[in-house]
Chains A and B, each alone.
Chain A
Amino acid sequence: RKEVEQDPGPFNVPEGATVAFNCTYSNSASQSFFWYRQDCRKEPKLLMSVYSSGNEDGRFTAQLNRASQYISLLIRDSKLSDSATYLCVVSRGSTLGRLYFGRGTQLTVWP
């Protein structure tokens, strides 16, 4: 079983729509969680960390459910510039600091 699983999409939504991505992780010892954004042919960039109580950054809201080993990302009022691949990332939190990346969910926002 893969460490991190994501629905690859693609998700095609109109501007202004709300879209949600889900991710599951297999190791219950996982301690840190992140969402990264990757534009076509570019490097991944940190979008936001995910905290146990859930957190929000502008139009983006991340949620964590440790019991179900499930992470989500909600994007409200989608913009054309949100078109990208969103990577779910998990760390076991050992001193090794290794991250496990999902394959990503592709989002296209159309006008």
Chain B
Amino acid sequence: DGGITQSPKYLFRKEGQNVTLSCEQNLNHDAMYWYRQDPGQGLRLIYYSQIVNDFQKGDIAEGYSVSREKKESFPLTVTSAQKNPTAFYLCASSERTGNQPQHFGDGTRLSIL
């Protein structure tokens, strides 16, 4: 089945630690996105990538980093510089052209230990 796989489903971070969230898709989509959702809030865009080896900052990129070495993969690292990382993280993908809907993975819940 084609889809987007995020792992792990739950993740705990210690103070001062970097953690990496995985996102893999087999939909052959060019574009991939990372969002953060806080309780009762909308989705906020962290980073997005239109093609391999290229990515752009979204609205809340500070404290996060990404890479796009393969079309299928778009991992997100939450660095120690992100002081309030507890949230629901969602990865999405879409065809490169504009006007296309995005398809989401089932998310990773990150909490601070």
Contact = CB atoms under 8 A, between A and B. Distances in A.
B94 interface: yes
Interface in A24-50: 31-32, 34, 41-46, 49
By DSSP majority rule, is chain A's interface helix, strand, loop, or mixed?
loop
A87 B42 contact: yes
Contacts of B104: 43-45
Contacts of A32: 98-101
A31 B99 CA distance: 7
Contacts of A104: 42
A28 B105 CA distance: 30
Interface string B37-58: 0000111010010100000100
B72 to A, nearest CB: 18
Given A87-B42, A97-B31, A43 B98 contact: no
A64 to B, nearest CB: 14
A104 B38 CA distance: 13
Interface in A68-91: 87, 89, 91
A87 B104 CA distance: 14
B84 to A, nearest CB: 19
Nearest to A32: B99
Interface of A: 31-32, 34, 41-46, 49, 87, 89, 91-99, 101-104
